[in-house]
Structure 1
Amino acid sequence: MHVRTPEQAAFADAIDAFCRARTGTRAQRDALTHHGTEAHAPGLYGQMAELGWLGVGIPLEYGGAGGGMSDVCLFAERTSYGLAPVGGFITTAVAAGPYAKFGTPEQKETVLGGIARGRVEAISISEPGAGSDVAALSCRAVRTHGGFIVNGQKTWCSNAHFADHLLLVARTNTVGSRHEGLTMFCVPAGTPGMEIRGIPTMGGKEVNDVFFTDCFLPESSVVGTVDHAWPQLMAGLNSERLILAASMLGRGRRAFDDAVAYVKERKQFGRAVGSFQALKHRIADLATELDCCELLVYRVAAMADEHPDRMLPREASMAKLKTTETAKRVALEGMQMLGGYGYALEYDMESHLRATVISTVYGGTSEIQRDIIGKTFGL
């Protein structure tokens, strides 16, 4: 396991204690999430903001703690392990990067300061015809007097229904390559011409379609440089992959610990089922894989902290690929070890499975991660 600083160890202990007290039982989590239909509990999130945790990666001048990617990953991992319903944190942490690097002073004050106080941010990239092929997006932002008029549809937009702003990526120019002519915009919630419709999923209320119809955005809403959002976007996606990896590290470890606890207690043929070699070896393999994931995630996080402007496409994709696939395997194996109880709502394993299976899809599928890694070797 990776070595934490004394401050990080204390931070992890505090998060663990918080989660044990407030989200430690199914009854507590059901009350916070309307029986699992909501991925985000605003009240709980607000309590974390009061403790100063949500500003973990936000610069000091905007009310944050000034921590690095290692600290952000630690928060994502431990809250995920604790099954804390704070689904808004991932998109918020990812959105913070572009605002911190490319935003105007006003955008930084509003968005970054708001994040530290417990506000949620969302990102709108994917479209019905542009998922893995991000450069194919066609939502248009046409320049007009004083700003831009946006028309088009976005989809799979996590947390848009309760976010303060949408970090929109739209096409502002059709001249040049597909990777040119893209621009980022900060779109406040409730902007006229923007409509958000939820997409029903197994995970409850998490993702949305977003429709723009003659939606006016002033020039001041541009984040970074007009027509040059591609490098900005790539930097953000690498951060997203690392934070998602950290979150699934936490969920994978929770699924593992739940499985171990069960096989120690469940008795068949006169002894605990975990004492049988078939399960003992399965547990050994999963434990080894999870430790490998932890070392990889925090190694990449340390690299990001050492060189904040470095892209790290290979390493971030490796972390996302390895950790999400491992977490999915742990949950699948856990369900097999729990037998029928793995499928029952009485236990959390079915929830672990739903959460980990989709993690190999969002933020770039496992297939896309492999393709990115291969390209870094000139293939």
Structure 2
Amino acid sequence: MGSRLTEDQADFAAAVRDFAKRECGTREQRDALTDGGREPHHKGLYGRLADLGWLGVCLPEEYGGAGGGLADACVFLEETAYGLVPAGGFVTTVITAKAYERFGTEEQRRRVLGGAVRGAVLSIAMSEPAAGSDVGALRCRAARQPDGGWLVEGQKTWISNAHLAEAMLLVARTGQDKHQGLTMFHVPMDTPGVEVRGIETMGGREVNDVFLTGVRLPADAVVGEVGAGWRQLMAGLNYERLFLAANMLGLARRALDDAVAYVREREQFGRPVGSFQALRHRVADLATEIECVRLLVREVASDCDAAPDRLFPREASMAKLKATETAKRVTLECMQMMGGYGYATEYGMERHLRAAVVSTVYGGTSEIQRDIIGKSYGL
């Protein structure tokens, strides 16, 4: 397939675009669905995506999914981001669900993947106040109990969509070794001792502190193997980085299209400002960068689908780095092209910028992605 969409994928992309235009194509619709931009996720609209069967785009058919690959999921993410669909819970859900698909028990897969297909939101909890980019430094501890269960104590922070989630995939310390002492656990959000507190950000209600105080989990809450949490996390990096890249690809496309529509109409000195060479050349450069991202994301997704058991640390990090940094550049330069109106909340470009800026931080900062890429060359 390479960077080209199959006929089925092109039809799927068109269907998602049509849905977005119909359900949230106007500013008034989006404001009503998102509380004026403060809530990136709308449960009712998300439920309609589930009814269409789209939330299981890359999940196995035996659990209600469509059985597609990463390339199919990237199409969905790109188009929902472009259409500004308030389905912010999908990224963390699909990243988390893929971990259960690979490492969970049959019962866990049936419950968790089936729920995701039906519209349940999932969250993954890794970061802590003293463990961000250095995930291996986390301190949240799970201690085995005499009955075989686990007692969890600790705090997680910057946990996306924990306030929306039905369950979270918790990474906790079960041993002394920095990397070999980590384990994944399935934690329903209504478990006694789990407290979620929202963190106010300029992007609205997205991330949270999660406090775990005297949380008791059964023995079968372990996802995968005890002590194998780090290896299991690394196995999911293709998914996480590609999904985030596809999301930002869609946002960059949308920002540029919004800016082009504006500069075609806005007149100064007796002509549309887009007709001036300074802006024409800026549009040309940004469009070229976006096309580079599109080709990279689709090519890496295709490679991952062709070799599902292989890790692509260099390529996945390149996709995440290029897509997020491009989205940040595109939205900032589009704001400049729109002048004061780009800064005004009325036009929405400032929302695009806020969403793009944080993408270079979550899911592994741009600095971490560059370090991974550099190390892949033996440096």
TM-score bracket for the superposition, by shorter chain length: over 0.9
Cα shift at 1:2: 3.0
- What amino acid does structure 2 have at the position aligned with 1:366? S
CA distances 1:172-214 after superposition (whole Å, capped 9, x unpaired): 011x3x1111000010121011111110111111100001111
Paired position in structure 2 for 1:206 = 206
Paired position in structure 1 for 2:90 = 89
Paired position in structure 2 for 1:162 = 164
Q: Does 1:24 align with 2:38?
A: no
Paired position in structure 1 for 2:124 = 123
- Residues 238 and 304 in structure 2, CA contact (< 8 A), matched pair in contact too: no
Q: Aligned partners of 1:54, 1:228: CA distance in 2, in Å?
A: 28
Q: Aligned partners of 1:128, 1:275: CA distance in 2, in Å?
A: 49
Q: TM-score normalised to the size of structure 1?
A: 0.98
Q: Does 1:13 align with 2:11?
A: no
* Cα RMSD after superposing both structures: 0.9
CA distances 1:12-66 after superposition (whole Å, capped 9, x unpaired): 0000000001111111011111111111000000001000100101100000000
- Kindly report which structure 2 residues correspond to 1:100-249, keeping only aligned pairs within 5 A, or say none: 100-144=101-145, 145-174=147-176, 176=177, 178-249=178-249
Paired position in structure 1 for 2:59 = 58
- Residues 3 and 302 in structure 2, CA contact (< 8 A), matched pair in contact too: no
Q: Aligned partners of 2:155, 2:96: CA distance in 1, in Å?
A: 20
- What amino acid does structure 1 have at the position aligned with 2:29? Q
- Residues 133 and 365 in structure 2, CA contact (< 8 A), matched pair in contact too: yes
Paired position in structure 2 for 1:351 = 351
Q: Which segments of 5 or more consecutive residues in structure 2 lack a partner in the other structure? A: none
Q: Aligned partners of 1:312, 1:2: CA distance in 2, in Å?
A: 17
Q: Percent identity?
A: 66
- What amino acid does structure 2 have at the position aligned with 1:277? Q
When the two structures are aligned, how many residues end up with a matched partner? Answer: 377
SS in 2 for 1:21: helix
- Residues 174 and 181 in structure 2, CA contact (< 8 A), matched pair in contact too: yes
Q: Does 1:305 align with 2:336?
A: no
Q: TM-score normalised to the size of structure 2?
A: 0.98
Q: Aligned partners of 2:32, 2:263: CA distance in 1, in Å?
A: 28
Cα shift at 1:234: 1.0
CA distances 1:220-250 after superposition (whole Å, capped 9, x unpaired): 1100000111111012233111100000000
CA distances 1:74-96 after superposition (whole Å, capped 9, x unpaired): 10000000000000000001001
SS in 1 for 2:358: helix
Cα shift at 1:282: 0.5
- Residues 24 and 82 in structure 1, CA contact (< 8 A), matched pair in contact too: yes
Q: Aligned partners of 2:41, 2:29: CA distance in 1, in Å?
A: 13
Cα shift at 1:162: 1.3
- Residues 166 and 189 in structure 2, CA contact (< 8 A), matched pair in contact too: yes
SS in 2 for 1:231: helix
- Kindly report which structure 2 residues correspond to 1:38-77, keeping only aligned pairs within 5 A, or say none: 38-77=39-78
Q: Aligned partners of 1:66, 1:6: CA distance in 2, in Å?
A: 17
Paired position in structure 2 for 1:98 = 99
- What amino acid does structure 1 have at the position aligned with 2:18? A
CA distances 1:291-336 after superposition (whole Å, capped 9, x unpaired): 0000000111001101111111111100000010001101000000
- What amino acid does structure 2 have at the position aligned with 1:141? A
- Residues 4 and 298 in structure 2, CA contact (< 8 A), matched pair in contact too: no
Q: Aligned partners of 2:98, 2:309: CA distance in 1, in Å?
A: 11
- Residues 3 and 296 in structure 2, CA contact (< 8 A), matched pair in contact too: no
SS in 2 for 1:311: coil
- Residues 237 and 363 in structure 1, CA contact (< 8 A), matched pair in contact too: no
SS in 1 for 2:236: helix
- Residues 193 and 214 in structure 1, CA contact (< 8 A), matched pair in contact too: yes
Paired position in structure 2 for 1:289 = 289
- Residues 259 and 334 in structure 1, CA contact (< 8 A), matched pair in contact too: yes
Q: Aligned partners of 2:204, 2:271: CA distance in 1, in Å?
A: 39
Q: Aligned partners of 2:25, 2:87: CA distance in 1, in Å?
A: 14
Paired position in structure 2 for 1:377 = 377
Runs of 4+ in 1 over 6 A off after TM superposition: none
Cα shift at 1:97: 1.2
